[in-house]
Structure 1
Amino acid sequence: MKKHINLLREFSIPLLAGVFTALVWANINPQEYQTFISSPLLGGVNLHFVVNELFMVLFFGIAAVEITQSCLPGGDLNPPRKAINPLLSTLGGVVGPVIVYLGLNAVAGDSALTRGWGIPTATDIALAWLVARMVFGAGHPAVSFLLLLAVADDAIGLAIIAIFYPDPSHPVEPLWLFLTVAAIVIAYILRSAKVKNYWPYVILGGGLSWAGLFNAHLHPALALVFIIPFLPHPPRESVHLFEDDPRDTSTLASFEHDWKIVVDFGLFLFGLANAGVGFSTMGTATWLVLAALVVGKTAGIFAMGTMGKYLGFPLPDKVGKKELLLTGLVAGTGLTVALFVAGVAFVEPDIQGSAKMGALLSGGVALVAVILGRALNVRRIP
């Protein structure tokens, strides 16, 4: 049973099943689907609120764990010189899509679509990892390099959501952010008091942080991002991204171990609540998002990674120009975070649905990357 569960998680089956179910349901019976996700549940909140405002707190919390661990001494982003090329490539993978999106929108789009520039900036970590393993093999250094890019640009994506995508119908009320500041102080006090159980951090710090963001009209899904770095952890990191370290029994590792399975299977509900868009909504925003993800990510990562190499910051061993090109292409898989940002970037249902369709179509990168990898004779390392 454990083996089957791990296979489901490894291949992102819950997320893909949720996306497929939502797409079929929304196109066969859109009224029933909309009623399902918007009808009040317990406490008067609907499924969309439960998933995007509550469950996604855990999703971004797990992402914050990976970022925290990778920044520790011995981690993949420490020391800074070791991380220069991945970070330059990450910058290209964020700026490239923005340039492509805004450039194409200026030529053939609409001013109403400008707000969607942040949608293609992040990478779906789980799906990109899966596709990279298919293209390069599990042991290829390009897989770890891609994971670094995905984690780093998701960190930037978190900042973009927090800064640039407040609720347009509710102006930001910054005074409430003092609650989030208080939450950070509480987490610091708990850490100083050597509290080893993560629950006080999550309930006291996370709860107060959530309340501050929610009442300030900023997205509360980021609540744990401010708390996670304070969870006690080892002074050094001894494994790579997404590798389990059985020797690490720290508070940070315990939180990830206990909640990652919940997040992995909970992504079914995320896909169900967010991917239900009709094919009839495909429009300009669809192609803007798709082009920005596929062309912008590929070109940006390739250009900046190559520039970093010529500046004296080498790429990983066995990662040449064709591997770097494929890495950029695979990073164009924007599904989860792109869907999330599309949901906060646009309020108008047709535009939102059109943008989400672009995020969904970016999943087709997988097939293109596998075919291109074979055509370029990229050697797979099991």
Structure 2
Amino acid sequence: MYRVSPFVRHFGQALLAGIALATLWLTLSPASYYDAIEWRIAELSLPLWMAPFPVALTPMGIVSEGLMALFLFFVGKELWEAIRLERGALAGRRAGVPLGAMIGGWIGAVLVWLVSSALFETALEASTGTGWPLPIGSDVVLCYLFGRLIFGNGHPALHLLLLITIANDIVGLTVVGLVYPAAGLRLAWLGLVVLAVGLVWLFFARLAHPELSEREHRRAFALWPYVLAGAMSWLGVVLAGLPGALGLLPLVPVIPHADRAFGLFAEAEEFLHDPLNRLAHLLVRPLAVVLFLFGLTRGGVDVLALAPTTGTVLLACWLGKPLGVVVGAVFAARGLGFDLPQGVRLRDLLIVAMISGISFTVPVLALDSAVPGGAMAEAARLGLVISLLAGAAAFLLARALRRGHVRAGRGRT
């Protein structure tokens, strides 16, 4: 089985370091922390036809709306390859159980959020069900850290976990952007995205066909056209009122890529030279810095912010999503006749479902749009950080299941 490249572990360590530093800073000096992350570096006076509200550049905004687009591009590339390429994890019948687990997790998280928020008042300014898309998102790198600790680097259950969490991140942020646009949707600006994708495909990407000349092939493999098209696509997404972190995703399908999948974040991809993998390789080191900055600017937790919203977040993440993952996967396997991924057993699926209850990066990105600010947002952020304990619970469950399996084996002998 293929091995996951070690840089994913480094991403998780960088993110945790940023969260820890932010929480310490917020605890010791909350005023200076908020002054730093909300410092208005510049005020942009844009015409109303571009932006209906004043735009201020802040460290938090630059990281969340700009730099995190690089991270979503990076993980989106893995999801696209899983769908599109030969032997991809979502190609053909391989997609059955993972899709069942994903959809089940989304439904379970949303239903529990809606029920919980109806039973317990979350905030005076919030209507029932406010923020329901928030628990759809997950956290690829932190789920990977715990998954690798439990399963090891080459276990197929780890790859199922990565697949589910990548899809959760992209779908979760997209749903939040559509349901709670920051400044109202102006979808006409998506024409700029279509133009960027169309131009780069017409004049560059389509020339990567092996039957064309070497000169055209070299032109298709140049990176600068995709960088320029990415900037144009990002601008179109932002002006359309959608989260800037989604801005580079529309470009992923048209960039020339490898002929077959080697697995999610596979070490073998480091030796590939197609434009999509080369762009991903160039992002590896910068993304560790980006995730540290994201943890620093968005991960500061007020430990006194405990409120009903905190419980709603945890119920959706710890109960709704894992239960939905298991039910969806089992239904796909036994109800629809799809096979579990080779090497994945039912107890592995239970561990994967529990780890998927970790929710931080994308839900925090969506926090300001999905729930009212102030106390409710801080209570939700606290719940998202506490959700990391699902990893520790999964580790303990895995040890208990392993011991039970060993004892059962000894009993049979």
Do the aligned residues in 2 keep the contact of 1:67 with 1:155 (CA within 8 Å)?
Answer: no
Do the aligned residues in 2 keep the contact of 1:64 with 1:229 (CA within 8 Å)?
Answer: no
> Out of 266, 290, 306, which is 1:243 matched to?
266
Deviation at 1:89, TM superposition (A): 0.6
> Is 1:370 matched with 2:385?
no
Q: In the aligned structure 1, how far is the partner of 2:271 from the partner of 2:180?
A: 40
Q: In the aligned structure 2, how far is the partner of 1:8 from the partner of 1:265?
A: 13
Q: In the aligned structure 1, how far is the partner of 2:8 from the partner of 2:362?
A: 20
SS of 2:241's partner is coil
Q: In the aligned structure 2, how far is the partner of 1:6 from the partner of 1:305?
A: 28
2:331 — aligned with what?
307
Q: How many aligned residue pairs are there?
A: 372
Q: Deviations over 1:195-231 (max 9, x none)?
A: 212222122x222222222222221221100012211
> Is 1:258 matched with 2:282?
yes
2:108 — aligned with what?
96
SS of 2:248's partner is helix
Do the aligned residues in 1 keep the contact of 2:113 with 2:315 (CA within 8 Å)?
Answer: yes
Q: In 2 relative to 1, CA 342–187 (structure 1 residues): closer, same or farther, beyond 3 Å?
A: same
Alignment of 1:4-83 (within 5 A): 9-10=9-10, 12-41=12-41, 45-83=57-95
Considering only aligned residues, what root-mean-square deviation do their CA atoms show, in Å?
A: 2.2
1:132 — aligned with what?
147
- How does the TM-score come out when normalised to structure 2? 0.85
**Letter matched to residue 34 of structure 1:** Y
Q: Deviations over 1:43-91 (max 9, x none)?
A: 7621011101110110111011111211233243343211111111111
Q: Which contiguous aligned blocks of 4+ residues in structure 1 show a shift greater than 6 angstroms?
A: none
Do the aligned residues in 1 keep the contact of 2:222 with 2:275 (CA within 8 Å)?
Answer: yes
**Letter matched to residue 244 of structure 1:** E
Do the aligned residues in 1 keep the contact of 2:11 with 2:287 (CA within 8 Å)?
Answer: no
2:214 — aligned with what?
none
Alignment of 1:348-367 (within 5 A): 348-367=373-392
2:410 — aligned with what?
none
1:156 — aligned with what?
171
Q: In the aligned structure 1, how far is the partner of 2:40 from the partner of 2:273?
A: 40
Q: In the aligned structure 2, how far is the partner of 1:127 from the partner of 1:27?
A: 23
Alignment of 1:195-274 (within 5 A): 195-203=220-228, 205-237=229-261, 239-245=262-268, 246-274=270-298
Do the aligned residues in 2 keep the contact of 1:198 with 1:255 (CA within 8 Å)?
Answer: yes
Q: From the CA coordinates, give the structure whose radius of gyration is larger.
A: 2
> Out of 306, 309, 325, which is 1:282 matched to?
306
Q: In the aligned structure 2, how far is the partner of 1:355 from the partner of 1:113?
A: 15
2:127 — aligned with what?
112
Q: In the aligned structure 2, how far is the partner of 1:347 from the partner of 1:35?
A: 20
Q: In 2 relative to 1, CA 78–371 (structure 1 residues): closer, same or farther, beyond 3 Å?
A: closer
**Letter matched to residue 242 of structure 1:** F
Q: In the aligned structure 2, how far is the partner of 1:83 from the partner of 1:106?
A: 34
Deviation at 1:7, TM superposition (A): 7.3
Q: Which moved more, 1:75-84 or 1:292-301?
A: 75-84
